[in-house]
């Protein structure tokens, strides 16, 4: 009986020690992850309270994993404790020392790796330094005095009181976070049933593709047959040839599609941004209040989590399994720590978890960006099955966003399969923020892979109902800009399709009027028989759906790149551009200088004709300040 009591005491003591080591080691590592600018980045779009909350979520999760690892190690050590029952104290001490050595080695190596990344040295330097670290650690263990100091360095965390305190604090923090998330998730009404006597008879389907440039589409004149299905769809639709996104990457553009407002008004500047404000100030909320059943299926995680706020007006908004398998199970199991509460940033939590999980398993870090187009439309079909007649459905398809991974039937169409596989996973960060002209041939090869992937996106089956087809932003392979998320606002990064087919339309129309994404929400409201609210920035394009356009060169489109601004401060960084159908003018908020590009040269990032046409430059600069009067004062 006494021996059993001693064994249990030794087992419990060892468990607390190993769990403490796990907590200390992983919390330290998480601190290193948060330190190099991540917390500072959060302050650009989260309040101080939300930043503290996000830090706590990650620290608590790291501590929980530490408890789990400590428990796993105690399970491994259990047979040794039983076998060497006569020397339990020595086994406990030896196991503790082994744990201390592992934690010190792993944390010091991780810290060294992090410091090397901060210093931006090359891979050879990192390899050499890590080898020196390994040798130094081995030598330290071989020297008695150094070994004793190493083994005693964590004693302050291994005492009985300290170990118990850490475990209790971790569990208490988990409960506190869950209660906080639950409380905020159930504050506010979310989507309430609309009070209507009769549902609308029409349906509206919005399909947006990610990173789809109009200039890569055969229906817009591209040299390769990249969009045969959309070409056929357009034969009975209205095609807007001069339609532009308001940003060069997803989240701000999706926010504009959701609200009909420019990024400077939605205050969505960063990839992890979120729409703030009243529930009624979104397109789906207005459609819902008008009696429409509202649903969405968005397969870009940044787009989904942006619109997933309970107040954004969707009746049905399923969360896609962005990366199926073990990661999805882990995300589901930890859901109490990342409820849809409106506090913090769920997308930042998901992307961080994906990065840690895939990094640990040596998998590509962007598996969540590979949702297949056929799966996107199948998910949308399931949403439609749950909506009543008279619905508004938004489908956002991640294709053809990088990585460019065409379906098997599209591989080899424009580029050899071997070359396509070589390019598919490469990030080409050396071409950011722009590439040199002598690299254009290499960019052209990547462009062909994108074109193949576009064929896969084009294969989606479009329903024979009222359909609007567009994109969140474009993609560039020319003029020195590769892909998107560029402050230069070059034409291929913002020139996107807009194709609208109304019920019963039997002929094609082409509209050359220049407009931007803020027109999309008012147009949908107009098609639904609803008035545009005053807070929407754009104007409806519905009048052009019933007549041929004679408005070439008319209208204006505005675009912004404000990623380096805090949503809590005046706008002083980034660029704001305007297109009038003939020219593009881009104002740099940092330098207060602008560049003027003829539209046929606006794919070139450093083109500037301001000196040749100063009157046009001043005219378009005035248009920017007229449209965004706050800029004149905030940029001072």
Print the SS3 string covering 501-536: ECCCCCCCEEECCEEEHHHHHHHHHHHCCCCCCCCC
Across residues 497-501, what is the average pLDDT?
95
**484: closest CA among 432, 444, 562?**
432
- What is the rounded average pLDDT of the residues 250-279? 89
CA distance 481 to 490: 8
Say if 118 falls within a structural domain: yes
In which element (H, E) is residue 595 found?
strand 594-598
Same domain membership, residue 235 and residue 178: no
- Model confidence at 394, pLDDT cuts 50, 70, 90, reads very high
- Domain for residue 600, yes or no? no
pLDDT in tens, 140-183: 889 989 888 988 888 888 888 888 899 899 889 888 888 887 77
Domain boundary among 136, 151, 185: 185
The DSSP-derived string for 86-154 is GGHHHHHHHHHHHHHHHHHHHHHHHHHHHHHHHHT--HHHHHHHHHHHHHHHHHHHHSHHHHHHHHHTT
CA–CA–CA angle 532, 623, 607 (5° rounding): 120
- Name the more confident of 276 and 383: 383
Listing DSSP states for 172-200 in one string gives HHHHHHHHHHHHHHTSS--SPPP--SS--
Whether residues 38 and 162 share a domain: the answer is yes
Least-confidence region, from 47-51, 75-79, 366-370 = 75-79
What is the model's pLDDT at position 278? 56
Residue 190 in any domain: the answer is no
* Average pLDDT rounded to a whole number, residues 432-442: 78
Q: Cα–Cα distance between 353 and 332 in angstroms, integer?
A: 12
Query: pLDDT above 70 covers what percent of the chain?
Result: 91
Would you say residue 231 lies in a domain? Answer: yes
CA distance 591 to 573: 9
Q: Which residue has better confidence, 63 or 457?
A: 63
Average pLDDT over residues 29-42: 85
Among 577, 610, 565, 573, which Cα is nearest to 589's?
A: 573
pLDDT range class, residue 636, cuts 50, 70, 90: low
Answer whether 599's CB lies under 8 Å from 76's CB. Answer: no
If residue 170 lies in a helix (H) or strand (E), which one and from where to where? helix 160-185
Question: What CATH number does the domain containing 477 carry?
Answer: 3.40.720.10
Higher pLDDT, 41 or 435: 41
- State how far the Cα of 500 lies from the Cα of 524, in Å rounded to an integer: 10
Q: Domain range spanning residue 176?
A: 2-185
- pLDDT at residue 158, as a whole number: 86
Region 614-633: what's the mean pLDDT?
92
Q: Are residues 148 and 231 in the same domain?
A: no
- Is 426 a domain residue? yes
Q: Round to whole Å and give the CA distance between 428 and 435.
A: 10
The number of domains in the chain is: 2
Q: How many residues are present in the chain?
A: 636
Looking at residue 550, what is its pLDDT?
A: 60
pLDDT tens string 103-135: 999 999 988 888 877 766 667 777 888 899 899
Query: Is there a single domain that holds both residue 104 and residue 179?
Result: yes
Report pLDDT for 36.
Answer: 65
187 pLDDT above the threshold of 60: no
Residue 361 has pLDDT above 60, yes or no: yes
What confidence category does residue 281 fall into, taking pLDDT thresholds of 50, 70 and 90?
A: confident
**Using CB atoms within 10 A of its CB, is residue 442 exposed (0-12), middle (13-18) or buried (19+)?**
middle
How high is the pLDDT of residue 557?
Answer: 97
Residue 606 makes CB contacts below 8 A (sequence gap 6+) with 434, 480, 488, 595
Task: Kindly state whether residues 68 and 144 are assigned to the same domain.
Answer: yes
On the question of pLDDT at 368 being above 70, the answer is: yes
Sign of torsion, CA 312 314 320 326? positive
- Residue with tokens 């300290």, as numbered in its chain: 162
Q: What's the token pair of residue 539?
A: 């104007």
Same domain, 307 and 404: yes
If one counts every other C-beta atom within 10 angstroms of the C-beta of residue 124, the result is 8
pLDDT for 463: 46
Of the candidates 439, 417, 441, 421, the residue with the CA atom closest to the CA atom of residue 430: 439
> Which residues on neighbouring strands pair with residue 294, listed in sequence order?
392
Q: What angle do CA 154, 155, 160 make, to 5 degrees?
A: 125
347-361, 424-438, 474-488: which has the minimum mean pLDDT?
424-438
Which residue did the predictor score with more confidence, 123 or 20? 20
Q: Please indicate, yes or no, if residue 400 is contained in any of the structural domains.
A: yes
Secondary element (H or E) of residue 238 = strand 238-240
Confidence of residue 548 (pLDDT cuts 50, 70, 90): low
CA distance 456 to 459: 5
Q: Which of 282, 287, 290, 293 is nearest to 257 (CA)?
A: 282
pLDDT at position 425 is: 65
193 pLDDT higher than 60 = no
Of 612, 556, 611, 552, nearest to 584 by C-alpha is: 556
Tell whether pTM > 0.75: yes
The token pair that represents 115 in the structure block? 């410091």
- The answer to whether 490 and 483 are in contact (CB under 8 A) is no
The closest of 339, 302, 246, 248 to 559, measured between CA atoms, is: 246
Task: List all residues 6 or more positions away from 436 whose beta carbon is below 8 Å from its beta carbon.
Answer: 480
**What is the pairing mode between strands 481-483 and 243-244?**
unpaired
Name the DSSP class of 5.
Answer: H
Residue 529 and residue 410 in one domain: yes
449 and 305 together in one domain:
yes
How high is the pLDDT of residue 539?
94
Residue 461 confidence (pLDDT): 46
Report, as an integer, the average pLDDT of 457-478: 78
How much of the chain, in percent, has pLDDT values that exceed 90?
Answer: 47
Based on the domain organization, do 181 and 209 belong to the same domain?
A: no
Task: Kindly state whether residue 410 falls inside one of the protein's structural domains.
Answer: yes
More confident residue, 122 or 219: 219
At residue 122, the pLDDT reads: 67
> Residue 535: pLDDT above 80?
yes
Q: How confident is the model at residue 342 (pLDDT cuts 50, 70, 90)?
A: confident
Task: Return d(Cα 253, Cα 561) in angstroms, integer.
Answer: 10
Residue 331 lies in a domain: no
Euclidean distance between CA atoms 487 and 304, whole angstroms: 24
Residues 143 and 212 in one domain: no
The last residue of a domain, from among 533, 548, 563: 548
Please, are residues 488 and 586 in contact by the beta-carbon 8 Å criterion?
A: yes
CA dist list (Å): 31 to 25, 35, 37, 55, 592: 10, 6, 11, 9, 38
> Are residue 130 and residue 226 in the same domain, yes or no?
no
What does DSSP assign to residue 495?
B
Listed range (194-203, 214-223, 299-308, 574-583) with the worst mean pLDDT: 194-203
Among 548, 566, 595, the domain boundary falls at 548
Question: What is the distance between the alpha carbons of residues 98 and 87, in angstroms, rounded to a whole number?
Answer: 17
561-566 long-range contacts (CB < 8 A, ≥24 apart) are: 561/247, 561/248, 561/486, 561/487, 561/489, 562/252, 562/263, 562/264, 562/269, 563/249, 563/269, 563/270, 563/271, 563/485, 563/487, 564/269, 565/44, 565/269, 566/43, 566/44, 566/45
- Say if residue 150 is in the same domain as residue 215: no
Q: How many CB atoms within 10 Å of residue 399? A: 30
Reported confidence tier of residue 496, pLDDT bands at 50, 70, 90: very high
Task: Give the pLDDT of residue 395.
Answer: 95
Looking at every residue in the chain, the average pLDDT score rounds to 87
Do the Cβ atoms of 635 and 572 come closer than 8 Å? yes
Tell me if the bond preceding 300 is cis, omega within 30° of 0.
no
Q: Other C-beta atoms within 10 Å of 5: how many? A: 9
Q: What are the CA-CA distances from residue 389 to residues 199, 201, 215, 315, 386 (Å)?
A: 8, 7, 36, 14, 10
Give the confidence band of 464 by pLDDT, cuts at 50, 70, 90: very low
């Amino acid at each position: 009986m006494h021996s059993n009591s001693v064994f249990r005491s030794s087992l419990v003591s060892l468990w607390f020690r190993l769990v403490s080591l796990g907590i200390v080691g992983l919390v330290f590592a998480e601190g290193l992850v948060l330190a190099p600018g991540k917390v500072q980045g959060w302050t650009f779009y989260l309040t101080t309270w939300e930043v503290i909350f996000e830090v706590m979520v990650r620290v608590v999760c790291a501590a929980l994993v530490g408890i789990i690892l400590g428990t796993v190690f105690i399970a491994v050590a259990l047979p040794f404790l039983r076998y060497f029952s006569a020397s339990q104290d020595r086994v406990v001490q030896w196991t503790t020392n082994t744990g201390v050595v592992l934690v010190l080695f792993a944390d010091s190596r991780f810290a060294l790796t992090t410091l090397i990344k901060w210093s931006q040295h090359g891979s050879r330097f990192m390899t050499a330094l890590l080898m020196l670290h390994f040798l130094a650690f081995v030598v330290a263990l071989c020297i008695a005095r150094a070994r004793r100091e190493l083994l005693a360095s964590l004693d302050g965390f291994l005492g009985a009181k300290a170990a118990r305190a850490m475990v209790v604090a971790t569990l208490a923090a988990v409960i506190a976070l869950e209660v906080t998330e639950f409380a905020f998730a159930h504050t506010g009404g979310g989507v309430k049933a609309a009070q209507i006597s009769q549902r609308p008879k029409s349906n509206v389907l919005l399909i947006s593709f990610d990173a789809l440039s109009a200039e890569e589409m055969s229906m817009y004149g591209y040299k390769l047959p990249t969009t045969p299905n959309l070409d056929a769809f357009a034969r009975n639709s209205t095609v807007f040839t001069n339609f532009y996104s308001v940003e060069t990457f997803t989240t701000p553009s999706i926010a504009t599609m959701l609200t009909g407002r420019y990024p400077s008004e939605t205050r969505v500047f960063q990839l992890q941004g979120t729409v703030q404000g009243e529930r009624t100030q979104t397109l789906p909320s207005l459609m819902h209040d008008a009696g429409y059943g509202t649903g969405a299926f968005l397969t870009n995680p940044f787009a989904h989590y942006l619109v997933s706020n309970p107040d954004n007006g969707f009746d049905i908004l399923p969360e896609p399994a962005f990366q199926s398998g073990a990661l999805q199970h882990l995300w589901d199991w930890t859901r109490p720590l990342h409820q849809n509460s409106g506090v913090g940033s769920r997308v930042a939590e998901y992307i961080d978890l994906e990065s840690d999980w895939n990094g640990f398993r040596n998998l590509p870090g962007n598996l969540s960006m590979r949702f297949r187009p056929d799966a996107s439309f199948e998910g949308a079909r399931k949403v439609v099955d749950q909506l009543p007649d008279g619905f508004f459905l938004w489908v956002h398809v991640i294709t053809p966003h990088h990585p460019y991974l065409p379906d098997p039937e599209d591989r080899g169409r424009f580029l050899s399969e071997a070359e396509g596989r070589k390019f598919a996973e490469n990030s080409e960060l050396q071409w950011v923020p722009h590439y040199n002209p002598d690299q254009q041939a290499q960019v052209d090869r990547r462009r062909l892979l994108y074109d193949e992937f576009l064929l896969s996106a084009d294969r989606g089956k479009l329903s024979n109902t009222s359909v609007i087809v567009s994109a969140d932003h474009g993609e560039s392979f020319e003029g020195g800009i590769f892909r998107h998320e560029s402050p230069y606002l070059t034409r291929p990064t913002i020139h996107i399709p807009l194709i609208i087919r109304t019920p019963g339309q039997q002929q094609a129309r082409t509209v050359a009027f220049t407009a931007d994404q803020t027109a999309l929400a008012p147009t949908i409201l107009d098609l639904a028989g609803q008035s545009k609210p005053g807070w929407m920035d754009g104007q409806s394009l519905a009048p052009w759906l019933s007549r041929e356009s004679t408005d070439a060169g008319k209208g204006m489109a505005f675009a912004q790149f404000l990623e380096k601004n805090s949503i809590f401060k005046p706008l002083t960084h980034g660029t704001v551009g305007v297109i009038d159908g003939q020219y593009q003018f881009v104002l740099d908020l940092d330098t207060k200088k602008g560049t003027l590009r003829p539209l046929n040269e606006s794919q070139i990032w450093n083109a500037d004709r301001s000196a040749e046409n100063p009157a046009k430059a001043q005219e378009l600069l005035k248009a920017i300040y007229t449209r965004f009067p706050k800029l004149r004062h905030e940029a001072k």
